[in-house]
Amino acid sequence: MTRFAAPIAEQIWDMKYRFKAADGTPHDVTVEDTWRRIAHDLAQVENDKEGWEETFFEALEDFKYLPAGRITAGAGTARRVTLFNCFVMGTVPDSMSGIFDMLKEAALTMQQGGGIGYDFSTIRPKGADVLGVSADASGPLSFMDVWDAMCRTIMSAGSRRGAMMATMRCDHPDVEDFITAKSDAARLRMFNMSVLITDPFMEAVKANGPWDLKFDGKVYKTVQALDLWNAIMQATYDFAEPGVIFIDRINKANNLSYCETIAATNPCGEQPLPPYGACLLGSINLARLVSAPFEDAAALDVTALNELVATSVRMMDNVVDVSQFPLEAQAQEAKNKRRIGLGVTGLADALLMLGLRYGSDEAARQTEQWMHAIARAAYLASVELAKEKGAFPLFDAEEYLASGTMRAMDEDVREAIRTHGIRNALLTSIAPTGTISLYAGNVSSGIEPVFAYAYTRKVLQKDGSRTEEEVVDYAVQMWREKFGDRELPDYFVNAQTLAPLEHVKMQAAAQKWIDSSISKTINCPEDISFDTFKEVYMEAWDTGCKGCTTYRPNDVTGSVLSVSEDKKQAPEVVSHNGEEPQEPHGDVIYMSEPLDRPEELEGSTYKIKWPDSEHALYITVNDLIVGGHRRPFEVFINSKNMEHFAWTVALTRMVSAVFRRGGDVSFVVEELKAVFDPRGGAWMGGKYIPSILAAIGSVIEQHMVATGFIEGEGMGLKSDPQAKIVGLDQPKGKACPSCGQYDLRMVEGCMTCGSCGHSKCG
C-alpha cells in the first residue's frame, strides 16, 4: 500500500524531495524514509531526541504537517543548503562598491537555494549627480538588470533556480520607470516587482492630491497621486506586475516594530522582512483534518489542529538551530528573532468538505475562525517553548505587546507572553504551497481556491513514450469515493469562475490572524474592465490586506492553463519534405529535421570591440528566406584572439544548430544576454553589458529586429509562434521550462507547472 493519494504526488516526491545519492540511487526508499529523515534531523537539538523524533514523525505522517520544500528536500541530507525559504538582503548602499558587495551576497544566498528580496529605493535616481566622477547616475533600474543577469547565471550553472523580489517606494523619482519596466517581455524576468505604498500616498490618491517624487530630501518631480496610482493599475492590468505592498500597514502591525523597519519582502510577498531577515515556512494541511467530509456532521478536528500546530511550531523552531545560512548576518538575524512562518494549505478543499462555497460570507467567517485557532495555538506553543528554552534574544515584553498585531490578540495569550516571554517573534504566514500541495495528494494550494477540479497531464515514461493520466483535486477524489459519479454540488467553484472581490474577501479574512503576510493571487478574467480591476486593489486596501497581487491573462506573461474541455482545432501543418505548403510563411517553423543549407544566404556582419581585449569580434548572422520573410539560419563568430577560438567555434555550432531546427529561436538572445561574467562587464552604447557573451546576444537581437523577425528589443516575435507547426500538437501558452508541458498556471504570484510543480519562485 502506498501513502500517496495520487500518482502525481509520488512523482513529485521522487523528483523534488526524495533523497538520492549522486548517481541517482535512492537513500529514501519510501516516503516514510523521507519523514523519518526530517524528524530525526530536527530532533537532534532536543534533550529527548528519540521521543521528539517520534512526535515529529507522527506530525509529518500522511502529509498532515508539510514543511516547506527546502526543509523536506534538505533536512538530514548533510548537503550544504539552507533550510530557510525567504531572505531579504541588507540595505543596498548608494555607492558602486556597496552595490556590488550586495550583488555578491545575493549570489551566495541564491547559490544555496534562498529566495531573496531587495528594496531598490535606496539607490539614487537616474540622472542624479554622482559626486567625484563628473557623471550622472544610471538609476536603480540599470542595477536591477545586473541582478537579473546574476540570477540567470546562477540558474544556468545548475544551481537551484533563483527567485527575487524588487520593491521601490511610491515616492522614489524613478518609480514611474519601475512601474512599466516589465512591459518589456525580456526584461527583469527573474524578478517579481512590487511598489511600496504608504498611508499618505493612499490618502492623496483618495483626495486626488499632489504627490512629490523625491530622494535624499530633494523633490525631483510632483505628480498627481491618482495618476501614479492609475499608472500602477494600468501596468498590472496589462502585464500582471507590479504588485502593491502596503508598507506602512506592515510596519505598524509588525510585532518587532520597536527594533526593525521593513522595506522589502521575499519573492512571493508572504514574508515582509528587515535587512538580512530570514524566515522558514511550513503548512498545516487542513484537508487532512476534516472528519465526516461532505456529511451534515462534517467538521475540522480542532483538538487535532491544536496538537499539530504545537508540534509544528517546535519543529520549525528547531530548524533555526540546525539550518545553515549563506551569510553570518542572516544567521544572527534569524537567531535573534527566531521568526517562523506557519501557514495552511488545503483550505479550499476543507471548506468544500464542510459544504461551504469558497468566497461566500460563510466561508470567510470559517476561514477567520480557523486562522484565529491556529494563531492562538501557535502563540501559546511558543510561550511553552520560551518557558523551556528561553524567549528570543530581542524580546521586550511591553514593546512587543504594544505592537499592532499583539493588541488584537486574546488577553489570556497576551498575559502568558507578558509572564513567560515568547520563543518566536512572529509565527504565522501563508506561503505558496503549489508543489507541496501536489506532493500531499493535490490538495488545494495555500488559501487559494481550487484551480481545476480535474485535468489531464502527459507523463514521460522511461522508454520515452508519453502517457496521459487524470489529475484530480483531493476533495473531488474524496467526493467520487463517497458518491461515485454524482454531479458536483453548486458550491464547488474554481479560480476561473470566482469573482475577484470574493478572492479579496478570503484574503482579508485570513489576514486578521496572520502576523506576517499572505501569498495570494487574485485571478481576473481577461475581459474585466479597467475600472472593475482597480476596485480589486482599493477593496484590498479598505479591508485591511497588507498587499495585493492579481493575474489577468496578457500578451507578455501569456495565458494560464486552459481547463476547457472543448477539443482544440487541429494545427495547420507546414510541409518540409519537398512539397510546397499551402501558405508559405517565414516567421516561425517547427520541424523534426533541420533544414538543408541553400548555396547562398543573405546576412550581415557586425563588429564588437570589447574593452581590454586586443582584437575585435566579428559576428555574421545569415538568414533563410521563407515565404518572403527572413529568419536567422546560422551564425559565425570570428576573432584573431586565439584565446577565444574554442568557445567561439562551440558557440557558432550550437547557436547555428538551434537556428536550423526552426521554431521561436528568440530565446537564444535572452539566454546569451543573461550570461554574467564574475570578472565584470562593460558599458556599451549607454547600457551595462554583463559579459562578452551578452554582447554577442545583443548583436543577434539587433539583427533579428532589423530583419523583422522580432518586434523590438525584448519584444518577442512579430507573429504568432503557433502559426505554423510541424508534428507538434501545441496548445496556447508557454511551455514549462523544466518539463516542457503546456501546463502553466498562476499560483500565489508565481507561474507554476501543474505537471512537475516547477515554479520560478522555488
- Catalytic residue IDs: 266, 268, 270
CB atoms within 10 A of CB 206: 14
668's grid cell: 537564444
Q: Which residues contact 552 (CB under 8 A, 6 or more apart)?
A: 237, 240, 524, 525, 526, 528, 533
DSSP 648-712: HHHHHHHHHHHHHTBS-TTHHHHHHHT---TT--EEETTEEE-SHHHHHHHHHHHHHHHTTSBSS
CA distance 268 to 343: 14
Of 262, 86, 269, the residue nearest 162 (C-alpha): 86
- Distances in Å between the Cα of 729 and the Cα atoms of 457, 569, 702 are 14, 10, 31
The DSSP secondary-structure symbol of 602 reads E
CA distance 439 to 502: 27
Strands 115-119 and 86-88: parallel
The DSSP secondary-structure symbol of 182 reads G
CA distance 702 to 683: 17
**145 within 8 A of 133, measured Cβ to Cβ:** no
3-state secondary structure of 27: coil
Q: Which residues contact 267 (CB under 8 A, 6 or more apart)?
A: 86, 115, 116, 117, 163, 164, 165, 192, 749, 750, 761, 762
Phi, psi of 645 (to 5 degrees): -55, -50
Q: Which residues contact 285 (CB under 8 A, 6 or more apart)?
A: 63, 64, 65, 66, 344, 345, 346, 440, 443
CA distance 4 to 10: 6
**Residues 590, 592, 593, 595: what is their CA dihedral angle, to the nearest 10 degrees?**
0
CB atoms within 10 A of CB 610: 20
**Angle of helix 302-322 relative to helix 31-42, nearest 10 degrees?**
70
3-state secondary structure of 52: helix
CA distance 705 to 710: 5
Q: Which amino acid is at 113?
A: G
Of 520, 575, 480, the residue nearest 750 (C-alpha): 520
Q: Which residues contact 485 (CB under 8 A, 6 or more apart)?
A: none
The DSSP secondary-structure symbol of 416 reads H
**151 within 8 A of 162, measured Cβ to Cβ:** yes
